Each structure stands twice: as C-alpha cells, then as structure tokens.
Structure 1
C-alpha cells in the first residue's frame, strides 16, 4: 500500500465518503485530494469543503465543481437522442452520471500528480463497475481503491462507530433524514433499501420527494411546447434555455403534475435482481417529446434501426461502457440521424401523463398531407400500385402454402 502517494477521492461529505477519507489516511498513509461534483443533486455541496478541511485536507487539495451544464449537455442530451431506456422502463439517471464523475476524477488526478483514485460504491452494486471502467478507459495505469471491497465496515452501525471513534462529524439530516439509500442528480432521484427490499410492498407516499401523487396533481391540464434543434431541446414555450435550464424546468413541470414515478425490479450487472424506485419527471417528458418530433422527421428505416440499436446502447450505459469504442461508434450513428430532427412538439401534462397533442417541422417533415389524406389526393398516390406490392410480399408465403398443399 505504501506505493500510493496521492489519491483523488469522489467525496460527497456524507457518512460513507467521510469515513473513507479518514480510512485512506490511516490505512494507505497517503495524501488525499477530494472531488465534489454538483450535478444537480439538490443539496448544498460547499459544506463538503469544511468537512474535508476538518479531516486534514489542504485547501488546495479540495475540488468542488458545478458540472450541471456539462452533465446535461454532454451526457443526458446525447443519451436522449437515442431514446435510451433500460429493460423497457429505466431512464438511466444514476448510470449516466458516473462517466462524468470518472472523467473529472482522472483529470484532477492528472493535474495534481495523483497515482490513485477512490470511490464509495459498494461491492454489490453497479456503480463500482461504472466508475472503474471509466477510470481504466481514461487512465489505463491508474490504481483504484474501492474500500467497500477491502474493509470490514460493512454496516451502517460499523460506519457510525468508526466515525465516532475518529471524531468525524456526521451531520444529522432534517427530521432524522430518509431511511432509504438515495442518489440524486439533475435527471433523477433513486430510492433503495428498507421497505423496498420487499418487492411486494408498496412504497410509502412520503418517500417521493420530487413529484406529487397523480391523485393530488392539478385537475387542470397544462400545455407546453418544446423546440428542437438536431434532436436537442433548445426552448420551452418559446423561451430559449441552456440544457441544464431545460431539464430543471421540465423537472418542475413534471413534478407538479405527478409525472415520472417508477417502481421496478431490475437486473444488476453483477448478477442480482434489485428493486428500486425512481423519479424522473423531466426525463419522462423529454423521452415523449423526442419520439414525437422524430416521428415526422426520421425516415422509417432509420427510425426502426434506432429502435433496434437502442437496447444495446442503453445496456452499454447501464453497465458502465460509456467510454467504450462501441458506445462511441453508436453515438456517432445516432447523432448523424438527428440532423433533421428540428421543429416543435406540443405536450399536455395531466395527472401523471404526458400526452402528445401536436408536432411540426417546417423544413424537415417527412409527413406529406397530400399523400396521407383520406380525401382525394389529386393523383399523388396510385392506389393500384399496392396490388403488386402486396403480391410480391406475399410470394414466399404463397410458395410455402402451395408446398404444404402438395404434401397433403
């Protein structure tokens, strides 16, 4: 362990990472650099600075950064161009944040001469894989310290005892805090543990923090209009916004109308099934809107190919392969498909539902009303052409049917 001189720790200032900070000092006898990212988790990040200083970290070794714009612009938006969902439901809110945190940790390690990085992910979860695949992809020779795979502090009680023994200040959350294991960023908030470990038990209503229940949402529907350029939302109701501003506003609107709650049992990469609940109000609106604008701007076969590739793309993100060559190759294909995804979509938000009520693209629409009309089309489409089209497509089935008749 003595060969590690300086380690960059992904540090939130909470119980786990505060214990890890002290543990690294005591076990590895190395200099610790802390990195705290604001990716829209909704909690003040500056207190992490005070806690790090109290644990002996030099001010110049404390990095606290606002990454909200980069997170949405370079990670969330590219993922939503693909309409990515894992196992048919999960919008990948935790998964998509890990590549950014990994990247900044490695960049900081390079800048300060760090020879190792560390994280607080447990040995049972997906995050250890996501973080470490990112580390190795960006700095192949980096050393990784994963305390949860090394120490014997495998319960909250042991962590609290360690903190008390070493004088680590663990601030109590308001009202005693949440009993759930939670992770939040600008895209979503997740809940695991306690009562949720029984997949038959309904989540308690007061667990949900971002959304009202659909039953208590406004009785009046709200209409919004999303403007798109190359597949990305650039304005809401005609007001231009940055990517982070877009997601923040859609979270507010979705939360107000009870949109984006999810309760699933998912298949973790490490092999176990896990029950989790998620709130993704803005992302749920984004997915619905994006598919609507694509419906009139993408060629049929391009749209179908995207749908075929999407599960593979989503799985790559879920399992931590954001920096892999195959994900980057798929991203190039997806981004190329978005050149014509321009226009606007009108949505109705009502009691947990996102309803598409209109869409238009003045320059890139492939919807031709002269051909699609049920009225006379002036010869734009020859109905008689369909007969040959159908007979040709039926040819193989006709041959098979004749062979079956001959067999008796």
Structure 2
C-alpha cells in the first residue's frame, strides 16, 4: 500500500516527516510499519507522466498503473496481486466502473472561467488577516473598487489607509499578471486582500455597489462597518462621522429624468425589478422589500396609497456614489436589497439612490462640492480641503512617475 503525504501529520502509525511547501513524500506500508520512500520525487515524476489509453476502461487503467508501478520498482508484486483481488471484490458486490473522461470534459459544477459572463457561481479571492483579540473594539473594513481591471496604485492606497482599518479589500477585475509597480514608494504590499469581479460583472463600474455585498456575504466578524470607495477617491479619514448610521457624501438628489434613467440599466432595469417582486417567494427578499417600502414611507418619498413599485418607476433621483459607508447594523438589509438590484442590472448611482431613500443617513457638510466636474478635475490640488470627508476624482495614475505631480 502506498500513501502520499502533503502535510507532516502522517497516518496512524506512520512516522512524522517534516517537509517543504512543494515537496511530496511517499510512504510504503510493509506489514504493520510505514517506511518513508527516499526516492519519492521519482515516483511523483512517474505518476505525472503516466498515461492510459483513451480506449481502455477504468478497471484496465488501474491494473495497468499497478503493473507499471511494479515494473518501475515502486510497488511489489504482492501489492499488484492485492489490487487485482480488490477490483474483483468490487465487481462481485455489483460496483460499476464509471467511464473515463477525456480532455474535453467540462465539469458542470466547476467555477466559471468565462470572464465575459455575469453568471458566476464561484470567484477568486484572497483574504489574510492578523489574529486579534475578539474583545477589542470592532474596526471598519475599507472596500476599494476599480471600474476597470486593477493595474497600478494598489501600494499607494495601502500606505494611505491600511493602518486604520481591519482590512482593505480591493474589488474589481483582478489579474495578477497585469498588476504594475513603478518604484518602492508605491509598490504593492503583500499580502493583498482582494475579491475578483470579472469585467462583465463590473461593466465599467455600472455595478460597483455589488462589491460591498460580496464582502458582506463573506461573513467577516468584528466589523464595525463597511466603507465603499472608488480607487480615485481621496478619503480624509480623520473626519468624524457617525459610525452607527449610513454615510453618503451628498445623499439623495431629486433630479428628475436624469440621463442615467434613460440608459439600459435605468428604467428598463427598474421595470424588471418591479415585475420580479410581484411573483417573488424568497422570504429574505420579501422582508427586504417590505423594509424598503416602509423606509420610503417613513422618509416621505411615497405617500398615501403609493407603493415602492410606484416610486421605482418615477425616474426620480440619483446619488453619485464613489464614497459611502454602511454600518454593520444596516449591512444585511443593504446586501439583500442590493443583490436583488444587481441581479436585475440596476445602475450604480440609481441603486444606491434607492437604498438611501429608505434609511436614516447622514451627509457631508461639503456635500456636492466633494465631486469635481469638467475642468475642475485638473484643479484638485487647489480645491482640496482637509475639512472634506472625501474628494473625487483624484487619479492615482498622476502619481505614478516621480516628479512634481507627487509633490502637489
């Protein structure tokens, strides 16, 4: 009998064997003793190269592998005899050997590798945390989203904010081979915590709000709340906000018929949401929608006999949302409602706007002036104030090359 170890714990009665991270160890059982094979590397190489005919059955492949292991002195003839008897016993019990799969086989339960589809049942993430005392005060998590695949700026964001949060989680299309570092002052600090949304899921930032939902659904503990921030937002984290309430830079804007509503992900998506809620039997969504409607009533966005469905179809309001905060107390509601919006491809500025109308939230004193438009974007260093909670946009790419841009 042969066993391959990938840790140092061993089987019952097997000698403990300390090993490197990428080295495998083989052990052969002789009688009641396990003997570590010193030429395990050769066995691994043999198994890696070994192939069986595509026309053979699984049973014949097992017998061939056993025979080849004997011929290469990795097993004894007695092992081969035992394997033959074992296979005969299986057949005597009625076992049917499954068909072999070829290289074209697609596992229907495997995670999607299609980076052009929103139908994702499993995604790449990396999360590494320091051990903390659970009795210590909770800390917020900072989620930094990029509308496009991440390339440069991760290290700069880490240096600015990482010491002040339980974790920074980068969200968006994450391809390690595309990450670029310029110098040691802005190079990426490892480990990096990230959650991958492919370009179709992110769609140039149309559904960036889904990042916070994905992080919430990880079930992290000891989290005070979740900051969502675009990668080109400056966050003055010394500014005091009420961590028990939702925070948004400017809140609800009552602009009628804004351009967002006329796009594919505006009114059309809202109609899809309204139609879906009529026949929805998911208790979590029904509960979230009820709270949504109660919130709209409480804050007087709907009156009398009006419903949440009516408000969704009025093409009313927007909220520019490159920075906002969700306390843990509101995170379940946010994640449920916003996932529902995401599944119907509701646009970022409209989805956050709808959520804000249903909750008690605070806004920044600077408010709308936190956002720079048109030519003002090039004057960010003159318009910036330490009294702001945040400012958008300040493009990180401007600081890539050493020089006067970094000294602004």
Interval containing the TM-score (normalised by the shorter chain): under 0.3
The structure with the largest alpha-carbon Rg is 2
Structure of greater relative contact order (alpha carbons < 8 Å, 6+ residues apart): 1
TM-score by length of 1: 0.26
